[in-house]
Structure 1
Amino acid sequence: MDLNNLYSAKRTGVDHLDKATDPRSGYQKDYDRIIFSSAFRRLQNKTQVFPLPGSVFVHNRLTHSLEVSSVGRSLGHLIGKYIFDEYLDSLNDESKRFYRNHLKNVLASACLCHDIGNPAFGHSGEDAIVSFFVKNEEELKKHFTKSQFEDFKNFEGNANSIRVLTQMQNGKPLGGIRLTYSTLAAIAKYPCESSARNKKITHRKKFGFLESEKEIFEEIAKYTGMERDASVKEISYLRHPFVWLVEAADDICYNIIDLEDAQRLRIIETSYCENLLDNLIRCLGIEDIQDYEETLKTISDRNERISYLRAKSINSLIFKAFDFYIDNLSSILKGDHEKALFDLIAEDCDAVQEIVDFSFENIYNDRSVVEIENAGYNVMYELLEHFIYPILKKEEDQSKSDEKALKLIPKQYASHTDNNYNKVLGVIDYLSGMTDLYATELYRKIKGIEIGLRN
């Protein structure tokens, strides 16, 4: 892949580029559009790991996305400067401006919306959608083509992000949020259709776009220099080089910040958390250890000590991710790189893997986390059952209860065709866009657990 062809200011839904007189670049506009979108705001009440809400502040999907965006911007600044300095002679004038000034904005925007397609209750919400279609496959698959049903029984938040950001819902503008192709390419961790999935191959471990967004994704790939994966007949591309940086920013944030949240909730002891982060900082070897130790001695508050260690850990991981990215830039541009930057760091520093293992055993399997996962799964599964079966029936076959169920779906999600795929996508758009609170309240009402007029 050519560094001169990896970006495009072209947007979904419009044929013209942004006016040159606008003081903001197109990539800065992306960031602003995401921030002000309703899909982004809804992330404030979507589970990251721990139950919401509570008396102790923990991260939700929105605060996580903001922090990932901050890390992505830092990586973009470092990588952009490196490419500008090292590849100056091979860059055209537009590329020089892009890498020097705009790559950081593309990565900040991509990181900001990397989770925007995740349903309520995080991965358990995803699991519920997948399980519903897998468990009812024999009854449901007759309504769809093979490739359409693959989308549903392998539902994936990453693929849904492309849909959320580009789709035109009823009464809304063509092209969705109308982001640049550069930002959209940077969030496609698995740039293939569902039928091309292969768990043994990094860029096809999951899938990155639904059949409904196939054409727009192919156009995004065309304008951002993505190369087709010649090893498979289905539509599949090699990862865009910017994706590795968005993925690294996400990996850095959740591995460190989930640890901080667990300490604040007293799921793990402060001393354990301190030791894990201290070992990490020393292992990575980026910080001035003398200055680091002297500053730490001045902080007595336990939460502030962890906050300081968290900040130093993230800073060190940013610079390590930068090092591994430039070390592997040649293979990344060729499209044959396979290992996540965070995994490379973990191989180089035992303290990183120690945090990953500790978190899996002591945080992600904590009872409070498992309870919300179970609850979220059941809520989403029951809502799917309530809406999917009625919407697949012909109008003349619908019972009164079916009709009443469908009246609950907002008009913006309604399909005006008899296409079952589009009908079900509308239901999934509605359900996956819900916050944890909204989904729970709707579940309680349709199950008769809570009855009464809305305030």
Structure 2
Amino acid sequence: MNWNNCFSHGRYGQGFISSTVRTPYERDFDRLIFSAAFRRLQDKTQVFPLPGPILVHNRLTHSLEVASVGRSLGKIVGDMLVEKLGSELSDEAKLFYQSDLSSVIAAACLAHDIGNPSFGHSGEAAISSYFEQHAGTVIGGKPLIGHFEEKEWKDLTNFEGNANSFRILTHHYANRQKGGYQLTYTTLAAIAKYPCESIGSDKKYLNRKKYGFFQADKDAFVEVAAKLGMTCEDTDPLIYKRHPFVYLVEAADDICYRVIDWEDAHRLGIIDSDTAIRHFLALLETSKWDKMDRIHKTLKELDNDPREQLAYLRAKCINYLANSCAEVFVGNNAELLTGSYNRSLIDGIEARSLEALEAINKVTIRKIYNHETVVKIELAGYEVMSSLLGAFIPAILQEKASHKERKILQLLPNQFRGENETAYEKALSVIDFISGMTDSYAMELYKNLKGISLPTHT
């Protein structure tokens, strides 16, 4: 792989390259924007409970903001790469980096959370925990764990939203078109933060901190990796080095969740104005691009509106971090190309900035992630997701389903009812259905199945 061949206009699941006014990567962006899976993110928890009297971020608004930052990162880095590498780049590569890289990163950012289940990270934990806790439960004449091979069980007991995103984007669901969304290989590679199978995960290595594809989708990932010349680190377990564009998608996400949650917390009265302004100013004071006297002057002009002050500082912080991450990317482009760069871009910025970010992160963990309302929604989500799995998994694995189990299976949409599937594929179909639910739909179905409330007419 080199900077001239690490991208491709080709699409997964489509044997030809169509020609339209829009670029292939703009089409990727549009396909995601108009997809049902993306729309459902508007009713999936980001951090704070939904809905409420005060509007807070959900997974959809978070993804849109990450895409905005990602587009900027792609534009900055594309121009910097062309300037730095010069004659090493072909004319096609120069055009790609100056015109298309920003669209690739924006599209990948839109998709980065598309596989996350309801209720934040507690939804992921609930799926994993269900299989762990019911490993010995007898279903269809044998314990739950006995239905699966070792690698399959590893997937189920370590459910991963990143792997689920790749599945949603590439899997051929019943009665749907082949190749899923038929995105370009380039965009698919750009979302693969952890390009390995579950048994290859190892927290010591950035590319293996989690995993990026289920056993059922391994062949699809191998095809994407081959089309772009991604370096295979090992074949058993299957592990690849990261594609360089992944670092930009990761950086855009890092920048947003480290800064933007504070606006919601401020609006909810969890973090006071003085604390927020002080910490953001401490970060900006490490910037070599910003003029602090101008920043203080603007803050003075906005003195009567703390929310506007915080919005202004948030924008300045995002701009500073984006430029810093772009600088780290281009400065380490050789290591990024080979996948040997073993830390995120944001962890590679100036030490003083990292100290300011760590101070922000400590407040985030103490005051935001451990706030009572956040803990309550996580606990509620855990109960809801576990209960839904407890209804559908036994029903779909039974050889002779009971009357109630047959009724439960009638609730599965057609695209999740594949014929002649293995137990693993059936379990994944259930997970596809449940992880795709919005918070409110999951809660409504939970109440219906528990007899807490009856469905209303539609």
**Cα deviation 1:216-271 (Å, max 9, x = unaligned):** 111111112210114x6311100110111100100000110011110011111111
Shifted more, 381-390 versus 334-343: the winner is: 334-343
Q: Which amino acid aligns with 2:16?
A: H
Please state whether the residue corresponding to 1:283 is helix, strand or coil.
coil
| Mapped pair 1:297 → 2:295 | no
Matches within 5 A, 1:197-276: 197-230=201-234, 233-276=236-279
Please state whether the residue corresponding to 1:229 is helix, strand or coil.
strand
Q: Is the contact made by 2:286 and 2:352 (CA closer than 8 Å) also made in structure 1?
A: no
Q: How many angstroms apart in 2 are the aligned matches of 1:168 and 1:298?
A: 55
| Mapped pair 1:403 → 2:406 | yes
Q: Is the contact made by 1:7 and 1:225 (CA closer than 8 Å) also made in structure 2?
A: no
Q: Which amino acid aligns with 2:53?
A: S
Q: By how many angstroms is 1:211 displaced?
A: 1.1
| Mapped pair 1:29 → 2:34 | no
Q: By how many angstroms is 1:331 displaced?
A: 1.4
Task: Indicate the residue corresponding to 2:190 in structure 1.
Answer: 186
**Cα deviation 1:104-158 (Å, max 9, x = unaligned):** 1000000011000000111000000010111122331211111111111111000
| Mapped pair 1:280 → 2:283 | yes
Task: Indicate the residue corresponding to 2:139 in structure 1.
Answer: none
Task: Indicate the residue corresponding to 2:125 in structure 1.
Answer: 127
TM-score by length of 2: 0.96
Matches within 5 A, 1:93-112: 93-112=91-110
2:77 aligns with one of 65, 73, 79: 79
Q: By how many angstroms is 1:339 displaced?
A: 1.0
Q: By how many angstroms is 1:290 displaced?
A: 2.3
Q: By how many angstroms is 1:343 displaced?
A: 2.0
Shifted more, 161-170 versus 337-346: the winner is: 337-346
Please state whether the residue corresponding to 1:200 is helix, strand or coil.
coil
Q: Is the contact made by 1:197 and 1:207 (CA closer than 8 Å) also made in structure 2?
A: yes
Q: How many angstroms apart in 1 are the aligned matches of 2:199 and 2:374?
A: 32
Q: By how many angstroms is 1:452 displaced?
A: 4.2
Q: Which amino acid aligns with 1:235?
A: L
Q: By how many angstroms is 1:283 displaced?
A: 2.1
Please state whether the residue corresponding to 1:87 is helix, strand or coil.
helix
Q: By how many angstroms is 1:419 displaced?
A: 1.3
Matches within 5 A, 1:387-398: 387-394=392-399, 397-398=400-401
Q: CA 1:332 to 1:376, structure 2 compared with 1: closer, same or farther past 3 Å? A: same
Q: Is the contact made by 2:231 and 2:338 (CA closer than 8 Å) also made in structure 1?
A: no
Q: How many angstroms apart in 2 are the aligned matches of 1:427 and 1:233?
A: 28
Q: Which runs of 5+ in 1 are unaligned?
A: none
TM-score by length of 1: 0.97
Please state whether the residue corresponding to 1:287 is helix, strand or coil.
coil
Please state whether the residue corresponding to 1:240 is helix, strand or coil.
coil
Matches within 5 A, 1:331-346: 331-345=335-349
Task: Indicate the residue corresponding to 1:172 in structure 2.
Answer: 176
**Cα deviation 1:171-221 (Å, max 9, x = unaligned):** 211111111010000000000011111122111111000111111111111
Q: Percent identity?
A: 47
Shifted more, 70-79 versus 139-148: the winner is: 139-148
Q: How many angstroms apart in 2 are the aligned matches of 1:348 and 1:80?
A: 27
Q: How many angstroms apart in 1 are the aligned matches of 2:277 and 2:92?
A: 46
Please state whether the residue corresponding to 1:9 is helix, strand or coil.
coil
**Cα deviation 1:336-389 (Å, max 9, x = unaligned):** 111111222374422111001110111100000000000001100000000001
Q: How many angstroms apart in 1 are the aligned matches of 2:368 and 2:299?
A: 25
Q: Is the contact made by 2:276 and 2:310 (CA closer than 8 Å) also made in structure 1?
A: yes
Please state whether the residue corresponding to 1:226 is helix, strand or coil.
coil
Task: Indicate the residue corresponding to 1:53 in structure 2.
Answer: 51
Q: How many angstroms apart in 2 are the aligned matches of 1:229 and 1:90?
A: 26
Shifted more, 103-112 versus 322-331: the winner is: 322-331
Q: CA 1:280 to 1:446, structure 2 compared with 1: closer, same or farther past 3 Å? A: same
Q: Is the contact made by 1:5 and 1:223 (CA closer than 8 Å) also made in structure 2?
A: no
Please state whether the residue corresponding to 2:26 is helix, strand or coil.
helix
Q: Which amino acid aligns with 1:121?
A: F
Q: Which runs of 5+ in 2 are unaligned?
A: 137-142
Q: Is the contact made by 2:396 and 2:427 (CA closer than 8 Å) also made in structure 1?
A: yes
2:366 aligns with one of 332, 338, 361: 361
| Mapped pair 1:330 → 2:328 | no
**Cα deviation 1:86-115 (Å, max 9, x = unaligned):** 212111222111111100100000001100
Q: Is the contact made by 1:346 and 1:352 (CA closer than 8 Å) also made in structure 2?
A: no
Q: How many angstroms apart in 1 are the aligned matches of 2:112 and 2:346?
A: 17
Q: CA 1:452 to 1:429, structure 2 compared with 1: closer, same or farther past 3 Å? A: closer
Q: Is the contact made by 1:279 and 1:351 (CA closer than 8 Å) also made in structure 2?
A: yes
Q: Which amino acid aligns with 2:84?
A: E
Q: How many angstroms apart in 2 are the aligned matches of 1:44 and 1:183?
A: 22
2:430 aligns with one of 427, 430, 436: 427
Q: How many angstroms apart in 2 are the aligned matches of 1:371 and 1:70?
A: 31
Q: How many angstroms apart in 2 are the aligned matches of 1:383 and 1:417?
A: 23
Task: Indicate the residue corresponding to 2:451 in structure 1.
Answer: 448
Q: How many angstroms apart in 2 are the aligned matches of 1:38 and 1:430?
A: 13
Task: Indicate the residue corresponding to 2:420 in structure 1.
Answer: 417
Q: How many angstroms apart in 2 are the aligned matches of 1:93 and 1:225?
A: 20
Shifted more, 337-346 versus 419-428: the winner is: 337-346
